[in-house]
Amino acid sequence: MTAEPDHHPPLPPAAAHEPVRRGGSILLVLLVAGAIVACAVALTTIGRAQAQPYILGLLALLAMVGLFNLFAFAAGIVRFTDRSIDDPVVRRIADLAYDGIAVTDPSGHVVYSNAAYLALTGAATPQDVRPVERVFIGNPDVSEAVFRLLKAAREGKRQQEEVRLAGTDSVHGRWLRMRVRPLGQSKREAKYAVWSIADITRDRERQEDVFQELQHAIEYLDHAPCGFFSVNPAGEIAYVNATLANWLDYDLAEIGSGGLKLTDIVSGDGAALLTSIAPVPGEVTTEVFDIDLRMRTGKTMPARLYHKLAFGADGAPGASRTLVISRARDERADPQRAAEVRFMRFFDHTPMAIATVDRSGAVVRANARFAKLAQGLAPDGSAAKSIFSAVNARDRNLLVAAITQASQGQGDIAPVEVMLGGAKERWGQFFVTSVEEEEREAEAAIVYMLETTERRALENQINQSQKMDMVGQLAGGIAHDFNNVLSAIMMANDFLLNAHKPTDPSFQDIMQIKQNATRAATLVRQLLAFSRKQTLRPQVLDLGDALSDLTMLLRRLIGEKVKFDPVHGRDLWPVKVDVSQFEQVIVNLAVNARDAMPDGGKLTIRTANVSAQEAERLSYKGMPPAEYVRIDVSDTGTGIPPEIIDKIFEPFFSTKEVGKGTGLGLSTVYGIVKQTGGFVYVDSEAGKGTSFRIFLPRHHPEQEAAVVEPAAANGAAKDAPSEAKPRTDLTGQGTILLVEDEEGLRSLNARGLRSRGYSVIEASNGVEALEALEEKDGAVDLVVSDVVMPEMDGPTLLRAMRVHNPDLKIIFVSGYAEDAFAKSLDEDEKFEFLPKPFTLSQLVGKVKETMTPQ
């Protein structure tokens, strides 16, 4: 492309042109004024009668001159111009301007035009000068642009238009740039408009040449044997050439429409390598990476990337420019380079973060996993520069010591587990190994890192679960032994009540013993609820109805300061729970919420169905995906501090003052929900409130109908409490084998049964019971046996007794839940159950009910 000299339009000898104007003179004006004054004086010296014809003649002459000037002004022969336009310096600059310049008055007449304007508009003589709209009248290619220019001129605005004129002076026609602007800032000057016209044909031709060259360059870039792509700071693909698009099996048009990100075309964590470059303000950085690109089909392709990234003065990254060379050919052509490709793929795709560091901890080289980890730990890029920046300051000395040992050539360095940096609590385990001695100048050690955050969380969860189970076993064992003590106390208390009348002075003391024993039994039941060994009587119910029945009770419990807001979901699925235990769960949570809002607040109980997909999306630890009914109990109270939130379900743990809580409320909630087959979780934020989320499994009646219900066979009435009316006559006849390892409780139970007319055979364990049964040749009407006994437990005793008497009736008594031992018996086994502690009337009532023929 060669440069050609510009062709300027020829300028005439007269540098400036304007319409013919009359020259003015102050002397002439004075002469005319003096003549008029002289005539007036002369007319005053003669008489009125003689002067009248002269006066009329003079007025007629002046009227004719004025009328002639009016017609001349209307015809354009005489014009009144602004003297500011006649500035000689301004006129000289405008006369010699390369662009055509014309000035028009408010009526659109040209009051000034230079020689270039005459040449561009084709005016042969100065008298033929025309305004712009008359020059291009009738030209459809220009008329719209001229109309917009005229509108801007009338409104006193600036406007510019570029138009193309078809003609023979150029193959592609002629291009003109037309501008209009007001003449000045004052009101009077703004009435005039300055028009300029420039021939930009040559500039347009140069632009088209550059555009063609650019098109050729883009076409070459698109079909080059290498790939190219560009990524903006947001991680979106801004450009991909045709070669790379073909390699990745993408359509160029699809990529151009946007939506494709760097992570879509880079496999694994490779994208982190490209975005982990530490910013260097005002400089351009080029890095070389061997990574895998991901094709549209999901397959991968090894490639070497020359990644160039420019940073602004503030360190902000601009769009990248990346050259891509396919290394797939290397795997087939050059064995040595193929080995290098395989190593790099292994190095970058390993799930372990790997980095080589020098003695100061500076990262010399790192794989993609380390780059991704470094971004999460330090977004400013410091972790990508120094491995010590990835570690919390409190544990940093441990990693420093390990790298120091490696730099000294020591082997067998113990792994280091430390807390990582960043806002969230994360943990990592570092394995440090030494490099060969000749390489220690640049690299002191190789560091392998595995993030152990999830493992530690799982370990903590398992430890907490084991701790809760151990505490539960301890609580259950204590409750079982304590139940025996309470049973003896309550049985002896019943004997005392039967022996004393209400008028006796000691009767009130005996009643006080009974009340305190009942309170102790309640505490034992709470312990058994936590250990999940209490006896439940589950039944199918709608939680919405159950909660509605509790509304009045809850309002009285929480008081007037707390606003109660129940929100029940529609069409709740049925659940199978023990109604009384479920009510205890809600009451305990409501009371805790009330205590957390001493100055008032809001208690919300919300219910909803949770599908299996939603349960999986919630991803609560330990809760498998299934269908649940969810109950949320939320308050706006003080919240639970993070340091104690893991202890709130432990028995006897309480933050309340001494004497204001037993510490068994939440442990009871935990045990009841778990024994029902549900899950309970807590979300709390100090100062904003707490939410307990309970998930109870959905009950499927069709599944239960397919299973033979054993309750009808064994008379346990598991699904509903017995509605039998209280019996007033608890006396009876028959032989009862009483098996109890606690001597004091056994003697009291035997005494109570004998007082009602029964014959009682006592046995301290299962072996003695079998011997007694053999002595009677199986002629025993009923066996009342403890479950947990030395040498032989209750279920084993029952199986042995069935050999002697298949129709033998038995009542098991235990402080543990019925389900705890029922699983040890055959599915169709018939038995009755009486939970400890029990009163004398409960014992004889159960015996009377069991021995009565059905």
- Rounded CA separation 795/799 (Å): 6
The Cα-based distances of 660 to 381, 520, 655 in angstroms read: 53, 17, 10
Instruction: Kindly state whether residue 87 falls inside one of the protein's structural domains.
Output: no
Q: Mention every residue, 6+ apart, whose C-beta is less than 8 A from residue 171.
A: none
Instruction: Kindly state whether residue 391 falls inside one of the protein's structural domains.
Output: yes
Q: Which of residues 156, 172, 205 is at a domain's end?
A: 205
Task: Say which DSSP state 413 is in.
Answer: P
- Rounded CA separation 676/817 (Å): 13
Do residues 526 and 387 both lie within one domain?
yes
Residue 696 near residue 676 (C-beta atoms within 8 A)? yes
Phi, psi of 341 (to 5 degrees): -65, -45
CATH of the domain at 601: 3.30.565.10
pLDDT of residue 418: 87
* Angle subtended at Cα 67 by Cα 65 and Cα 72, rounded to the nearest 5 degrees: 95
Residue 791 near residue 766 (C-beta atoms within 8 A)? yes
Do residues 749 and 602 both lie within one domain?
no
Instruction: Kindly state whether residue 710 falls inside one of the protein's structural domains.
Output: no
Instruction: Kindly state whether residue 218 falls inside one of the protein's structural domains.
Output: no
pLDDT of residue 693: 92
Residue 805 near residue 778 (C-beta atoms within 8 A)? yes
Do residues 525 and 596 both lie within one domain?
no
Instruction: Kindly state whether residue 539 falls inside one of the protein's structural domains.
Output: yes
Instruction: Kindly state whether residue 704 falls inside one of the protein's structural domains.
Output: no
Do residues 253 and 285 both lie within one domain?
yes
Phi-psi region of 259 (alpha: psi -120 to 50; beta: other; left: phi over 0): left
Taking Cα atoms as reference points, which of 463, 469, 399, 408 lies closest to residue 434?
A: 408
Tokens found for residue 15: 């540098």
- C-alpha 158, offset from chain centre: 50
Do residues 468 and 603 both lie within one domain?
no
CATH of the domain at 300: 3.30.450.20
pLDDT (tens digit, 9 = 90+) per residue, 324-343? 888 776 666 677 777 777 77
- Rounded CA separation 532/817 (Å): 8
pLDDT of residue 286: 84
Residue 195 near residue 162 (C-beta atoms within 8 A)? no
- C-alpha 180, offset from chain centre: 55
Instruction: Kindly state whether residue 297 falls inside one of the protein's structural domains.
Output: yes
- Rounded CA separation 250/330 (Å): 23
Q: Which domain holds residue 527?
A: 350-534
Taking Cα atoms as reference points, which of 382, 379, 374 lies closest to residue 449?
A: 374
* Angle subtended at Cα 184 by Cα 179 and Cα 185, rounded to the nearest 5 degrees: 125
Residue 539 near residue 719 (C-beta atoms within 8 A)? yes
The answer to whether the peptide bond before residue 233 is cis (omega within 30 degrees of 0) is no
> What sign results for the dihedral spanned by CA atoms 323, 324, 325, 331?
positive
Reported in sequence order, the residue ranges of 232-299 that DSSP labels E, i.e. its strands, are 237-240, 284-294
Residue 318 near residue 311 (C-beta atoms within 8 A)? yes
Taking Cα atoms as reference points, which of 279, 359, 361 lies closest to residue 320?
A: 279
| Number of domains, the chain | 6
pLDDT of residue 535: 54
| Secondary structure in 3-state letters for 440-454 | CCCCCEEEEEEECHH
Do residues 635 and 677 both lie within one domain?
yes
What does DSSP say about strands 689-697 and 300-310: parallel, antiparallel, or unpaired? unpaired
Helix, strand, coil percent content, the chain, rounded in steps of 5: 45, 20, 35
What is the C-alpha R_g of the chain?
A: 52
Residue 300 near residue 293 (C-beta atoms within 8 A)? yes
- C-alpha 478, offset from chain centre: 47
Instruction: Kindly state whether residue 702 falls inside one of the protein's structural domains.
Output: no
Q: Which of residues 474, 503, 534 is at a domain's end?
A: 534
Residues facing 690 on adjacent strands: 635, 684
pLDDT of residue 723: 40
What b/e sequence results for 732-769 when a residue is b if at least 16 CB atoms lie within 10 Å of its CB, and e otherwise? bebebbbbbbbeebbebbbebbeebebebbbbbbbebb
For residue 255, how many other CB atoms are within 10 A of its CB? 22
Do residues 545 and 530 both lie within one domain?
no
> What sign results for the dihedral spanned by CA atoms 360, 366, 371, 373?
negative
Do residues 554 and 524 both lie within one domain?
no
Tokens found for residue 515: 């009340």
- Rounded CA separation 291/454 (Å): 28
Tokens found for residue 243: 């070669």
Do residues 315 and 194 both lie within one domain?
no
Do residues 69 and 137 both lie within one domain?
no
Tokens found for residue 426: 């994360």
Do residues 764 and 648 both lie within one domain?
no
Tokens found for residue 211: 């555009």
Do residues 549 and 682 both lie within one domain?
yes
Angle subtended by helix axes 335-349 and 368-377, to nearest 10: 30
Query: What is the mean pLDDT for each group of 10 consecutive residues in the chain (854 residues)?
Result: 40 41 64 79 73 77 80 65 56 78 86 85 80 81 85 88 71 80 68 87 84 78 83 85 86 70 81 76 83 84 86 82 79 70 75 85 84 72 74 86 86 86 82 78 84 80 68 64 76 80 82 78 62 61 84 84 88 85 84 87 92 86 87 90 77 56 68 84 88 91 50 36 47 86 84 88 88 83 85 83 83 69 68 81 86 74
What does DSSP say about strands 416-419 and 809-814: parallel, antiparallel, or unpaired? unpaired
Tokens found for residue 668: 């009871």
Residue 696 near residue 674 (C-beta atoms within 8 A)? no
* Angle subtended at Cα 262 by Cα 259 and Cα 268, rounded to the nearest 5 degrees: 130
- C-alpha 142, offset from chain centre: 56
CATH of the domain at 784: 3.40.50.2300
The Cα-based distances of 87 to 18, 32, 409, 694 in angstroms read: 13, 28, 91, 92
One-letter amino acid for residue 232 of the chain: N
Q: Which of residues 205, 239, 271 is at a domain's end?
A: 205
- Rounded CA separation 644/464 (Å): 13
- Residue ranges of the alpha helices (H) in 392-452? 396-407
Q: Mention every residue, 6+ apart, whose C-beta is less than 8 A from residue 386.
A: 360, 361, 362, 363
What b/e sequence results for 777-791 when a residue is b if at least 16 CB atoms lie within 10 Å of its CB, and e otherwise? eeebbbbbbbbbbee
- Rounded CA separation 815/106 (Å): 111
pLDDT of residue 522: 67
Strand order in the sheet with 759-763: 759-763, 735-739, 782-786, 809-814, 832-835
